[in-house]
Chain A
């Protein structure tokens, strides 16, 4: 960048190609600088701060710079923490299975059954329409549908299918999972759709030529080749569910817990170091999960 202003473009090109040139090295660093600053200031620095704070001491009124480990020992030693983590993992697993199933079939339909590219675009845009409103609004709009006197319950009672309103529709694990599936399925559809679109249609024909039935084409050709997209979608969904607190709070009506919700509660009690320790544990757990996914599926083909 600096070199460009100093000399003719051709000379610059010749100079940047020389590996030993100090200017060439500098311009590469300059080009990487903006992203480095953004990630450094808004990701790395906060993480370091949280890591530091997680070793601080605190009482009801203030935090004291220190190096203590009881934030971690208390967090990991508490039965409540383990139960909350298990509950969050349960949500992650259920939501993952459902979004993977639904997401795959939506993507499959879009990629293989919708003939024209323009129709594919239109249908895909329709999938993204809900994203024009905020997460919270989309979540809250379930309440009049699922509530005690909501749409579903009144319809069921009116139709005489049940005598009293169904209680577990809202403020339950069911409601949490439903809202999460609603919120996160598109994160599964998009990467899977992307991989499916890249599958050479001649492969499907070659499989048919070899006598494969539709089911065999799916299990032997399409599913294996869709794995990278599934892995990327899985990373999206799992990390989103693991970090979710608003959906769990709103849809369970406070009856269910998640790790992020636990952190939020700790923060509202001004127990920042405890929340920070919790955050570090969650971060490590999620990173391990992502590493596990990347180990199973090679997603580099997608990038």
Chain B
């Protein structure tokens, strides 16, 4: 079960009548990768997954799995297996027959397929429930049955459509760990659709952030977190303040921008022609309550809200033409001084904590 396949998506589009759900996206998912397609609802991530699975026709472009172009192949002949959002277990069959379903379709005889299904159930620690119907199981158990059913076909890639969304928060974290462990031990490619950035960060080797049918960024979690490519990624991942303005000047490796009716800021990034719109991102957890020594790396604003979160405190600040600037302060640092809503506080951050964001061509 260690034959993983690389998935290569080459300018694939999905068009429903007048509306385009996926705009000519290209993506290479290396063999054996845990890839998360991440984005808000309606961003095209599920359409993309369903096109890889073969449950949605591809309007234009090609998908290659390993060495085979699978664009026109039916789902079962692609070497993929899909796990559905609601698990889609057959309510009229017991667990053994659910798991053995694909073998039955292939015409494997009864004893052999039941034997294999039992082995799979044992792997998922479900053998005690073999004769039960899906409705008699808990959410977590149902998910394991769905996994067993998908994996019995010995797929090269497992496609998961929001697999954890139906579980309660506690179970979600446990099943998350189980998924990761399973992927590591099987070594096959996992493509996992989710709208939770926390889930994607925890699981993925490769995060693909999608918005409005386009890929905003495809990179390792750390890169997506530390160097978000676009304003959308920075906002969606949280943890960054996005400041928009127009470029004033660029020097080597740093861009200065003017915020409309506000301050001037500098951030690291490639030079941008003066007057062009530009977005920069500032890490919320790197903001300090202190006057800045370097111009462009801080401002003074009015505290509009304070949220205590235990180990950290979240401050919302308005000022310098920026609304709802977030600063996450260490609780010790926050309680050293007395800050109240309505106070004017000086904020500053380091040179490396502000970066210029790109814009994807539309």
Binding site for B on A (CB under 8 A): 200, 202-203, 205-213, 216, 220-221, 224-225
Instruction: Let me know if B75 and A208 touch, CB within 8 A.
Output: yes
A209 touching B91, Cβ below 8 Å:
no
Q: Is the CB of B86 within 8 A of A210?
A: no
List of A residues within 8 angstroms of B101 by Cβ: 207, 210, 212, 220
CB distance from B63 to the nearest CB of A (A): 16
27 contacts between A and B (CB under 8 A): A202-B85, A202-B86, A202-B88, A205-B55, A205-B82, A205-B84, A206-B82, A206-B88, A206-B89, A206-B149, A208-B76, A209-B53, A209-B55, A209-B75, A209-B82, A210-B76, A210-B105, A211-B75, A211-B76, A211-B77, A211-B102, A211-B105, A211-B106, A211-B153, A216-B105, A224-B92, A225-B91
Residue B247 CB within 8 A of the other chain: no
Q: Which residue of B lies closest to A204 (CB)?
A: B88
> Which residues between 122 and 180 of chain B lie within 8 Å of chain A, taking CB atoms?
149-150, 153
**A interface footprint on B63-75 (CB within 8 Å = 1, 0 otherwise):** 0000000000011
A213 CA to B76 CA, complexed, in Å? 10
Interface of A is mostly: helix
Chain A contacts for B90, CB-based, 8 A? 203, 206-207, 221
Count contacts on B: residues with CB < 8 A to the other chain.
24
Residues of B within 8 A of A (CB): 53, 55, 74-77, 81-82, 84-86, 88-92, 101-102, 104-106, 149-150, 153
Give A220 Cβ to nearest chain B Cβ, in Å: 7
> 14 new A-B pairs (CB below 8 Å) besides A205-B55, A212-B105, A220-B101?
A202-B88, A203-B90, A206-B84, A206-B149, A207-B90, A209-B82, A209-B150, A210-B101, A210-B149, A211-B76, A212-B76, A221-B90, A224-B92, A225-B91
Residues of A within 8 A of B53 (CB): 209
* Residues of A with C-beta under 8 A to B82: 205-206, 209
CB distance from B74 to the nearest CB of A (A): 7
In angstroms, how far is the closest chain B Cβ from the Cβ of A70? 50
> With A200-B86, A205-B55, A205-B84 known to touch, is A210 a contact of B102 (CB < 8 Å)?
yes
> In the complex, what's the smallest C-beta–C-beta distance from B188 to chain A, in angstroms?
16
Closest approach, in angstroms, between the C-beta of B82 and any C-beta of chain A? 5
Q: A225 to B88, alpha carbons, bound, how many Å?
A: 13
Taking CB atoms, residues of chain B closer than 8 Å to A213 are 105
Of A200, A211, A212, A220, which one neighbours B88 at CB under 8 angstroms? Answer: A200
Q: Is the CB of B104 within 8 A of A220?
A: yes
| CA A202 to CA B150, docked complex, whole Å | 14
